[in-house]
Amino acid sequence: MMPGSVQESMKVRLSTKRGFTLVESVVVVSVIAILATLLLPVLSTVKQMERRTTCVNNLRQISLFVRMYSDDSNDAAPKAARTAKSPTMYLDGSTAFKSC
């Protein structure tokens, strides 16, 4: 082998540009689609857990408010405005708190 021919073959190998083929591109896109399909239910579950945590925290805050009010008011419950849904003058769960 002659040193010149080795250098020429290396130049030919380095000068050819190789891009992605159609099959390689389709495989990459399909792998990304499969990963996204697996990831979306996980994200939905996380979002639902976040809502649940927010609701539990809101209920805790309401409970703390009612307890502190009762402690300061000789164990009397907070009063609410009378409505058609709530004829009583004390808070009940259907009118005082919005559902989570």
The 10s digit of each residue's pLDDT in 25-65 is 999 999 999 999 998 888 889 999 999 999 999 999 988 98
Residue 38 located in a structural domain: yes
Confidence at residue 28, expressed as pLDDT on a 0 to 100 scale: 94
What is the domain range of residue 48?
Answer: 22-96
Query: Can you tell me whether residue 1 is helix, strand or coil?
Result: coil
Number of domains in the chain: 1
Residue 2 located in a structural domain: no
What digits encode the pLDDT tens for the residues 56-77?
A: 999 999 889 888 888 888 877 7
Confidence at residue 67, expressed as pLDDT on a 0 to 100 scale: 87
- Full-model pTM: 0.47
Judge whether 66 and 91 are in contact, CB under 8 Å: yes
Residue 13 located in a structural domain: no
Q: DSSP H helical segments within the chain, as ranges?
A: 3-15, 22-72, 93-96
Residue 27 located in a structural domain: yes
